[in-house]
Amino acid sequence: MAPTLNGRVKNALSVDVEDYFQVSAFEMHFAREHWDRLPCRVERNVDRILELFSQAEVRATFFTLGWIARRYPQMVRRIAAAGHEVASHGFAHERASTLDRRAFSADLESAKAVLEEVTGTPVKGYRAPSFSIGAGNLWAFDCIAAAGYRYSSSIYPVRHDHYGMPGAPRFAFEPRTGLLEVPITTARLLRTNFPAGGGGYFRLLPYACSRWFIDRVNRCDGQPAVFYFHPWELDPGQPRVRGAAAKTRLRHYLNLSRTERRLARLLTDFAWDRFDRTFPIEGM
């Protein structure tokens, strides 16, 4: 039975804390060694998200880059002080599918160490950048468990040109003993998984689609939904990347001016909470 909050199904809300220049689709335009020279906008955007969450009395999980935590420790402490869960998004937004086991383990451990030092609390959760765990690198779960994480949210069971594992379970499962994988939500229609958990699809499709999908998962599947978005998605004034492919620009900049209003509706249309209070992590 799905957990409830105030009589409604409790869903898991998450924020992938990264800046506009750290998006995987732009990695050819922003070398990591130059990130320190770029104007950051993540702090102002996160503070706006914290304000929205406070107004709606919602708590969430913030999957945060170690690079961000090292540069903005006070911001990360504000997240934790507001009652939200701080989890790991890796250190420098390197996709798990581009790293070998040793490099991936080092990334997991360094991000966890920085976040725990900043917040003073254990970090239980991890999300691979760009949902980069799939059929070709399932060994990554061994590394995640060995690094001391209790859960992962790194699989999106859809077909996509950059990520996705459509054959994966749609709902929380245990890929390794003691490690829970919590996939991003999909709605099952016509034998196909449709993306229902946020990101670019939340901006691309009318809001009514997201609301209908999430409600269907709650009612028909009896499961909590797992939703995510990025701070830069609330920032229509962010710098435009010159030279990026038209498809990339469309995906990144589409409807940025509408995201905050849609998010405000989402926060009240459904019940939301942190990952570690929505899924049975402690009982594993």
Summarised one tens digit per residue, pLDDT across range 202-234 is 999 999 999 999 999 999 999 999 999 999 999
Compute the distance between CA of residue 151 and CA of residue 252 in angstroms, rounded to an integer.
Answer: 28
The Cα-based distances of 58 to 5, 46, 80, 116, 283 in angstroms read 11, 14, 13, 23, 24
The proportion of the chain whose per-residue pLDDT surpasses 90, expressed as a percent, equals: 86
Query: Could you tell me how far CA 87 lies from the centroid of its own chain?
Result: 10
Mean pLDDT within 85-103:
97
pLDDT digits (tens, 9 = 90+) for 153-163: 999 998 866 67
Cβ atoms within 10 A of the Cβ of 10, count? 21
Mention the CATH class of domain 4-277: alpha beta
* pTM for this predicted structure: 0.96
Where do the structural domains in the chain lie, given as residue ranges? 4-277
The Cα-based distances of 28 to 21, 41, 248, 268 in angstroms read 10, 20, 12, 38
| 282 or 240: which leads in pLDDT | 240
Mean pLDDT within 178-182:
97
Cβ atoms within 10 A of the Cβ of 263, count? 21
What confidence score (pLDDT) does residue 36 get?
Answer: 94
What confidence score (pLDDT) does residue 1 get?
Answer: 65
pLDDT band of 284, cuts 50, 70, 90: low
